[in-house]
Amino acid sequence: MRIDILTVVPQLLESPFSHSILKRAKEKGLAEIHIHNIRDFTTNKHKTVDDAPFGGGAGMVMMIEPVVLCLEHLQSQRKYDDIIYLSPDGELFDQKMANRISLFQNIILLCGHYKGIDERIREHFITKEISIGNYVLSGGEIAAAVVADAVIRLLPGVLNDGTSALSDSFQDNLIAPPVYTRPAEFRGLKVPDILLSGNTPEVEKWRHEQSVKRTREKRPGMAD
Ligand code: ADE
């Protein structure tokens, strides 16, 4: 899968893809992440990417021209399944959406900044708008990293254990069961006996019961 991220602050996106699972996904050739600085597509000599809103008011608006030039540059090279704008008023991101996006070949993530982007970009170039929650971030970059992370870890081969993405919380509308590791006892705090029993079917049964219990407690309504 290829993900192209368009931003005016590329530095914000350096770290999330340089470590751990996402780094390994890139190294294995399972995910390609390309970060594009929208400023490189300006045609004015000051490399301006934002301007005051028509009609007045506070804040700046991301200009249409550099964004569209960048999008057209990418679209001339390959077809994209979705051109996604990260915005607090977009569709709320969840596991189901991550699963769906993970089946795509190529996607673009456009990060907004300032007061937002010129509405004509949303109307004519964006195919999907995603919000990662009902709060306002200072830009779309962290939201883009969240979406890319949730999607990339679902790609076949990214996680070492092929089953582990399927046993995540929210897959099957269930929250994952509690997990423990050594030592079996720490300052009198014990691991549940069943996990030390070696009885795999009983362990699986216990885990499922715990998942259902947790889901009822933490996300009532989700498992019904
Ligand atoms: N940009 C600013 N806030 C955001 C949010 N909550 N989700 C996605 N993009 C955003």
29: CA distance to ligand 1 center in Å?
Answer: 29
pTM: 0.94
Range(s) of the chain covered by CATH 3.40.1280.10: 2-152
- Does domain 169-218 fall under CATH 1.10.1270.20? My reply is yes
CATH topology assigned to domain 2-152: Alpha/beta knot (3.40.1280)
Range(s) of the chain covered by CATH 1.10.1270.20: 169-218
Q: Which DSSP string do the residues of the chain spell out, in sequence order?
A: -EEEEEES-GGGGTGGGSSHHHHHHHHTTS-EEEEEEGGGG--STT---EEPPTT--SS-EE-HHHHHHHHHHHHTTS--SEEEEEEEEEEEP-HHHHHHHTT-SEEEEEEP-TT-B-HHHHHHT-SEEEESSSS--SSSHHHHHHHHHHHHTTSTTSSSSTTTTTTSTTGGG-PPPP---S-SEETTEE--GGGGS--HHHHHHHHHHHHHHHHHHHSTTS--
The residue whose C-alpha atom lies closest to atom 4 belonging to ligand 1 is 88
The residue whose C-alpha atom lies closest to atom 7 belonging to ligand 1 is 131
**Tens digits of residue pLDDT in 120-151:** 999 999 999 999 999 999 999 999 999 999 99
144: CA distance to ligand 1 center in Å?
Answer: 9
**Tens digits of residue pLDDT in 34-84:** 999 999 999 999 999 999 999 999 999 999 999 999 999 999 999 999 999
Q: List, chain by chain if needed, residues with CB within 6 Å of any ligand 1 atom.
A: 86-88, 112, 131-133, 135-137, 140, 143
